[in-house]
Structure 1
Amino acid sequence: MPLLDHFRPPLSLKRHWHSFHNAWSTYLAEALNQSLPEGYFAEPNAQFGIEIDIATFSETNLPDSTPVATQWTPRSPTATLPFQPTTDSVEVQIFSTQAGPTLVGAIELVSPANKHRPTHRNAFTSKCQTYLQQGIGLVIVDIVTTLSANLHNELMERLDLQPVSLETGLYAVAYRVAESDGASRLDFWQEPLTLTKELPTVPLFLKGGLFLPIDLEQTYHLTCTRQRISE
């Protein structure tokens, strides 16, 4: 199944990209659970930016027994700093159960919100940096065509690394934190993605040494088929 543009017409007018990403993460987790050895499991985790408003209201005829929530208030904050939490998260998390559920790997499917603003990109790369610094295996897959930011390059800058940058807008990158001769290193495998071309297979290195092939084409094709998306 060739890679389609889920973010521009005509497909974007017929299908919702977030529904596709949600389904893709589910089928990726399903495929992993069929190949992971005993003691491991994969779970999809899709969260999109949803705002919850907490409304205030005034009611004059409250009974005397009603608790008053304003009897105590905190002092002014010590500091107020700009902060952007990760709004969209579409990922597959792989856990080891040997010492309770422990995260050992993650596959991140990039959303438009992850690339939209510098603060959003910073939140996404911060999460990826945390994974890598903990030795957690990571794969990033970016098929978003409407924004040009390259999160792999920004992650490398965040880690203060200067490898050959990815010039392509769409890509899959697999990362492995390894150690040799007493020194840690970061290995990664870059795969450019192209519309109308099939997707590659990339390695997923789990913390602890195990690695698995992630057949992006197989799960992408399955998702398109189950979602009734055709070329």
Structure 2
Amino acid sequence: MPLRDHFRPPLSNDTPWSVFHGNWATKIVDRLNGDRLSAKYKAQSGRHFGAQIEADVATLERTERGSLFAGLSESGGGVATAEVFSPPATTLSATVGFTDPDLFEVKVYRGAGGWELVAAIELVSEANKDREESRRAFVVKCGNYLQKGISVVVVDTVTTYSADLHDKLCDLIDGADSLRWTSPTGLSVVVYRPTRVTDGTNSALAIEVTPYQLNTGFELPTVPLWLGRDLAVPLELEFTYTQACRSLRIV
């Protein structure tokens, strides 16, 4: 089924993009666990609807308070006077915000001596692209995966924001200028494969990138999902996308 625009009317009025993304992630997990991964591996989906959390750190006003035992004296048989603690005024105060973006992803684990994360598939949401702090949080997460040797596939079908997340990720990684690429349509699938390069006694991290341009009205590609240095399985985006559309009666 050709790629549709799930972020604008009329389709977004009938089926919110968040509902579709969650369903698509489930279909990817079903396909990987059902037909593509051996028993040594398993895929799981995760989703989280973020919210902008704001906290107002108020300044505490210092007040003069009397004793809880005012009027009682030691000579009169009462207890000793106890001072109520009055904290000093807060010196620094700010209204702050924390980035908590939406999350739609599929993680693949390898179970050899405990489950180890080996690959992550990120379905980009509007909240990953709408603000600078959200874009940075997204690419930092992807960069952390790559630094740990975890392969990443980023699927960006967001039509309402034009930010280039691949370019932002290249800004984050030293020596990544040769990896830069821009999709003419603003829609893309980018496959990241981290490897180790050994030169004598020295070892360094290398990243191989395979980008794919997406277009609304055209079918999605099948791309490699790297589970190890020399092991990949097909990530069938067209098949899983079609399954998600059919299950939600999107025609």
Q: State the TM-score bracket (shorter-chain normalisation).
A: 0.7 to 0.9
Aligned length: 213
Closer, same or farther: CA 8–40 of 1 in aligned 2, 3 Å: same
Aligned counterpart, 2:214 = 193
- Larger deviation, residues 155-164 vs 124-133: 155-164
Structure 1: any 5+ residue segments left out of the alignment? 55-70
Structure 2 Cα separation of the partners of residues 97 and 147 of structure 1: 38
1:113 aligned partner, one-letter code: A
1:165 aligned partner, one-letter code: W
Q: 1:53: how far off?
A: 9.5
- Given that 1:86 and 1:124 are in contact with CA atoms closer than 8 Å, whether structure 2 keeps it comes out as no
Aligned counterpart, 2:44 = 43
Q: 1:164: how far off?
A: 3.4
Aligned counterpart, 1:19 = 19
Aligned counterpart, 1:225 = 246
Aligned counterpart, 1:66 = none
Give CA deviations for 1:71-90 in whole Å, capped at 9, x if unaligned. Answer: 9x9xx899x9x774442110
2:183 aligned partner, one-letter code: E
- Given that 1:84 and 1:123 are in contact with CA atoms closer than 8 Å, whether structure 2 keeps it comes out as no
Closer, same or farther: CA 209–77 of 1 in aligned 2, 3 Å: farther
1:108 equivalent in alignment to 2:125: no
Structure 2 Cα separation of the partners of residues 175 and 120 of structure 1: 20
Structure 2 Cα separation of the partners of residues 51 and 112 of structure 1: 14
Identify the match of residue 138 of structure 2 among 120, 124, 133: 124
1:202 equivalent in alignment to 2:219: no
Give CA deviations for 1:25-78 in whole Å, capped at 9, x if unaligned. Answer: 000011111211122100010111147899xxxxxxxxxxxxxxxx9x9xx899
Structure 2 Cα separation of the partners of residues 50 and 83 of structure 1: 10
- Given that 1:40 and 1:97 are in contact with CA atoms closer than 8 Å, whether structure 2 keeps it comes out as yes
Look at both structures and tell me which one has the larger radius of gyration over its CA atoms.
2
Please report the RMSD computed on the Cα atoms of aligned residues, expressed in angstroms: 2.8
Percent identity, aligned pairs only?
41
Structure 2: any 5+ residue segments left out of the alignment? 56-84
Aligned counterpart, 1:135 = 149
Q: Which has the higher strand share?
A: 2
Give CA deviations for 1:158-199 in whole Å, capped at 9, x if unaligned. Answer: 113113321330000111011334343110110000000000
- Larger deviation, residues 183-192 vs 141-150: 183-192
- Given that 2:170 and 2:180 are in contact with CA atoms closer than 8 Å, whether structure 1 keeps it comes out as no
